[in-house]
Structure 1
Amino acid sequence: MDNLFTPSAKNVLLLAQEQAKYFHHHAVGTEHLLMALVMEKDGIAGKTLRQLGVTENDVHDEIERFTGYGTVDAAGQASDSYLPYSPKGKEILAFAGDEAKRLGALKIGTEHVLLGLLREDDILAARILQNLGLSLSKTRQMVFKKMGIADTAAKRRPMARGGARQDGQGTPTLDGLARDLTQMARENRMDPVVGRDKEVRRLIQILARRTKNN
């Protein structure tokens, strides 16, 4: 399933695994994904977060404050062992796939993972960002700006799974975004992806395993 992710996004998944192990946690959660996004140097997500003043030390301290260190014996854990994702971690990666598809992206990038994190305000990653003084909606706008998509798109958040739209918008149709993406396609700035729903669902199944991902 590696072909679903950009190189930067694949690096984020590896870094998230490392961070979960560093904190001796049993699973990769949204907090580890957030830390990995900040650490990754080349992706849009990391550049956006750093521009907003988020540092690795900030996120590290917040994780330490919220969760502390777990009980997993890191010394007895193989360096290439694979930790499963928490339920929220899996959900965020599914959201990332949704975002990539909705925006017509060829692969899931770090920006889509961050957009997935920003969909819900009841996850640990969101609470960390809010504690650091960030507005989730304004951060979302900044991501869209970095992607070269008009601000009108950022103002319309997609519907969270199983719930109503969180920003109070009455329609899921992204009219302004559709026009912008059409123009981007004309300029060969985006490649649409078609028929990858099964791949994304399969990806989440694989990420849920405790065995090494292949």
Structure 2
Amino acid sequence: MFERFTDRARDAVKGAQVEARALHHRYIGTEHLLLALLGESGGLAGTVLRDAGVFPEQVRADILAARRDPLGMADAEALRAIGIDLDAVREKVEETFGEGALEASPTLPLRRRGLFRRVPAPAAPSPGHIPFSPRAKKVLELALREALHLKHKHIGTEHILLGLIREGEGLAAMVLTNAGLRLEDLRRHVLDALARAA
């Protein structure tokens, strides 16, 4: 599939890996793809996002906030109201089990363990490889579908952005909607920009 990617789209996929490493994440998610699209090689997608008021600094801050508070603002506030300090819970868990103990790996399936059932621990990813989350893989598949639908022979950054929008449920979509954007409007802006560029 990557042979159909433009150089900028390939750079964006590589940039997503760089973003995941910079944030010390163990996987490449939709949020890392979004950050990469906002980078230098973001091409048409980066232009559309910046024109819509989306900037990497704010996206990065929103990603970090979402990972610190995965329950969501309303749930976290409800727990605080009954006296549960989530930061204290996180500190205690990480003190006991190590930093990042509460972070689930989206690529590793949960397995039951029991007295008579021993399951070997999954192999850790190699130091050079960071796996894509299932949602990020879906975004790249949807980028291909968007390119085919538009009868384009290549997959560019604009198609990756259309894939992010179409997937619509990952952290990237959440960050975009929390920034006040409607995904349908953003999709229309991408298609308009493609029409102007043609």
Coarse TM-score class (shorter-chain normalised): 0.5 to 0.7
1:114-193 aligned within 5 A: 114-148=161-195
TM-score by length of 2: 0.67
Query: What residue identity is the alignment partner of 2:176?
Result: L
Q: CA deviation at 1:2?
A: 4.1
Q: Aligned-pair RMSD on alpha carbons?
A: 2.1
Q: CA deviation at 1:106?
A: 1.3
Name the residue aligned to 1:58.
58
1:1-214 aligned within 5 A: 2-41=2-41, 43-68=43-68, 71=100, 78=127, 81-148=128-195
Higher helix share: 2
What count of residue pairs does the alignment treat as equivalent? Answer: 144
- Mapped to 2, the partners of 1:121 and 1:93 lie a distance apart of 13
Q: CA deviation at 1:82?
A: 2.0
Contact 2:34–2:172, Cα closer than 8 Å, also in 1: yes
Greater than 2 Å deviation, 4+ residue runs: none
Query: What residue identity is the alignment partner of 1:125?
Result: A
Contact 1:24–1:71, Cα closer than 8 Å, also in 2: no
Q: Which runs of 5+ in 1 are unaligned?
A: 150-183, 190-214
Does the C-alpha gap of structure 1 residues 141 and 15 become closer, same or farther in structure 2, counting only changes over 3 Å? same
Structure number with greater Rg is 2
Q: CA deviation at 1:120?
A: 3.2
Query: What residue identity is the alignment partner of 1:114?
Result: L
Provide the identity percentage. 40
Q: CA deviation at 1:10?
A: 0.6
Q: CA deviation at 1:121?
A: 2.9
Q: Which runs of 5+ in 2 are unaligned?
A: 69-98, 102-125
Deviation string 1:114-154 (CA, Å, 9 cap, x unpaired) is 001101332111100011111101000100010017xxxxx
TM-score by length of 1: 0.63
- Mapped to 1, the partners of 2:170 and 2:42 lie a distance apart of 25
- Mapped to 2, the partners of 1:3 and 1:121 lie a distance apart of 25
Contact 2:9–2:157, Cα closer than 8 Å, also in 1: yes
Q: Which has the higher contact order (CA 8 A, sep 6+)?
A: 2
